């Protein structure tokens, strides 16, 4: 259990971290904004999936997910094939072109971070990754999506 000033400080840090995200986003290819890059990365990491699953992983509304996916599908980076088991659903798969784009993105991200974080140790980056992962997890656990069995006191 942390102190109140620590929480206020954390809120400040999170507010300010947007500058870092924007800086990193600026290295992306023109055709591939941050939202599109996130889609590609998640489909690569978790394998083929449906729209609803992707929306859950992105932690954004499915309507927004739909637009991002339309963007990457329009450029041939993702394949949307109908799910034979449920014709309402679509299965998302990374295409070879998608993998190429992802490799390009990874290279740009790595180059930028090497530049900015050249003086960070392996351990420090590892720690930050770990803490950010836990932070997300702590928020996910309390989301109204799924894993909320009951509690319907109207």
CB nearer to DNA: give 22 or 134.
22
Among positions 4, 5, 87, 151, the unique one binding DNA when judged by CB under 7 A: 87
Establish if 64 lies at the interface with its own copies (CB under 8 A).
Answer: no
In the window 37-56, what residues touch DNA (CB under 7 A)?
Answer: 50-52
| Of 99, 100, 105, 110, residue with least CA distance to 44 | 99
Q: Is 19 in the site for its own copies (CB under 8 A)?
A: yes
**Residue 18 within binding range of DNA, rule CB under 7 A:** yes
- Are 14 and 86 a contacting pair, CB within 8 Å? no
Q: Is position 115 an interface residue for DNA (rule: CB under 7 A)? A: no
Nearer Cβ to DNA, position 51 or 113?
Answer: 51
CA distances from 12 to 6, 74, 91, 95 (A): 10, 38, 39, 40
Using CB under 7 A, which of 24, 34, 97, 112 touches DNA? Answer: 34
Q: What single DSSP character describes residue 95?
A: -
SS (H, E, C) 26-85: CCCCCCCCHHHHHHHHHHHHHCCEEHHHHHHHHCCCHHHHHHHHHHHHHCCCEEEEEECC
Sheet holding 86-94, edge to edge: 49-50, 86-94, 78-83
Q: Which does 20 bind (CB under 5 to 8 A by kind): its own copies, DNA, none?
A: its own copies
Q: Which residues bind DNA (CB under 7 A)?
A: 18, 22, 25, 33-36, 50-52, 58, 60-70, 80, 83, 86-90
Q: Which residues bind its own copies (CB under 8 A)?
A: 1-4, 6-21, 23-24, 34, 37-38, 41, 45, 58-60, 106, 109-110, 113-122, 124-129, 131-136, 138-139, 142-143
């Amino acid at each position: 259990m942390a102190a109140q000033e620590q929480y206020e400080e954390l809120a400040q840090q999170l507010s300010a971290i947007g500058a870092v995200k924007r800086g990193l986003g600026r290295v992306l290819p023109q055709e591939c904004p941050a939202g599109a890059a996130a889609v590609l990365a998640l489909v690569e990491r978790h394998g083929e999936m449906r729209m609803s699953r992707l929306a859950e992983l992105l932690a954004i509304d499915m309507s927004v997910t739909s637009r991002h996916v339309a963007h990457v599908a329009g450029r041939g980076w993702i394949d949307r094939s109908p799910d034979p088991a449920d014709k309402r659903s679509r299965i998302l798969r990374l295409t070879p072109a998608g993998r190429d784009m992802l490799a390009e993105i990874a290279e740009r991200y790595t180059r930028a971070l090497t530049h900015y974080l050249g003086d960070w140790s392996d351990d420090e980056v590892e720690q930050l990754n770990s803490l950010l992962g836990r932070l997300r997890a702590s928020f996910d656990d309390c989301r109204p999506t799924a894993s909320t069995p009951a509690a319907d006191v109207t």
